[in-house]
Amino acid sequence: MQLKIKIISLMMIMSWLLGGTPIEFGVSLTGGYDNNAMRFSVDEINEAAQEIEMMGGAKTFDSFITKWGVSALKEMVIGQKKVIKLKGFFASSDYINTPEKKYWSGGTDLTYKWGPYRNIKYSLRHLDRFYLRHYVNRDISVGDLASCVFTDRSHALTITQRLSKVSWLNLGAGYLQRYYSRPFTEFNLDIVYLKAKINYKLKNIGSVAVQINQGAANNISYSSQIRPSSFDRSYDTMELFVPLKMNKNLPLISEIGVSLRAEFREYDAEDLSDPLHSGRSHVDSKYDMWVKKKLTDEISLTLSSRFRTRVTESEYEWVDDLKSFKQFQFWFNIEWDMIYDKY
């Protein structure tokens, strides 16, 4: 709660301090549906139907979802074509049919811009107590289930440089801390990553981009004195992201888009006594589609959907089945942008 107050207070205080330009506020409301809220495999769905304890406090595998968010953006002109931007946001999510899956997220962006598609941006993000599901902690038990929850805190620096009239490049680096609540602290990770994205404007169509992220996750609890564990959950990851947006000459709607995001992960573990991670890899693919309609200059509606599939490969067939799943999500979002000028 204290971190929530700090984020919102920082957004408001900095907005008032950075000169007399208007403050842009945004409010969003989202309703959605998730057909596999806890990412169960087919085998786990069959097992959970007989062992209700696997569901935690949930009554169904699927869930309706509500989200709301607020944002604020302040710009200050400091010279010819030079601008400083400060943006902050806060969002809250609630899975109606999964009581433990209720969390909030927030963050800030500080950007220095010196021309069109020329800027450097620092980003801070926080995801608070994200519930995955109930798991058996196999380091200390063979059958007792416990709630598995993690919190993310990330820092990123991104540089944008214009390449031509129709293309620009983003280069960035980041550091993410993913720390689990007890009794799963042996999974704590420090993740560092690099990213590169090239963007291209398509004449009379919209834009397309290709982004590649390369990262390494270090399992900091491995053999530590705080939470000794003989198992290493470190991994290497590479992610491909390709979005296509069409927003030119469209009848009735303002934008339509599709994207592919695929993560290729390979675990470092070689200990055969840890079959869940030893020799394991997976491909986690997300296929998104959205349609956007601007009702006015301030209000817009967006319909979006996502199909997600994870395919796991391991030396053990039961691990392949256990760690593979499919998921479908659908969202309806309304956004309202406002400008406040105290002058």
Give the chain's domains with CATH numbers. Answer: 2-340 (2.40.160)
Note whether 133 and 39 are within 8 A (CB).
Answer: yes
pLDDT tens digits, 1-14: 666 666 666 665 55
The phi, psi pair for 297, rounded to 5°, reads -65, -20
Q: Is 121 helix (H, G, I), strand (E, B) or coil?
A: strand
| Predicted pLDDT at 138 | 66
Question: Tokens 């691990």, residue?
Answer: 319
Note the pTM of the prediction, 2 decimals.
Answer: 0.90
According to DSSP, the β-strands at 255-267 and 102-115 are unpaired
Sequence letter at residue 71: S
* CB-CB neighbours of 127 under 10 Å: 19
Q: What is the pLDDT of residues 174-233, one digit of tens each?
A: 999 999 998 899 899 999 999 999 999 999 999 999 999 999 999 998 867 665 567 889
- Give the C-alpha separation, 166 to 126, whole Å: 33
Q: How many residues would you count in the chain?
A: 343
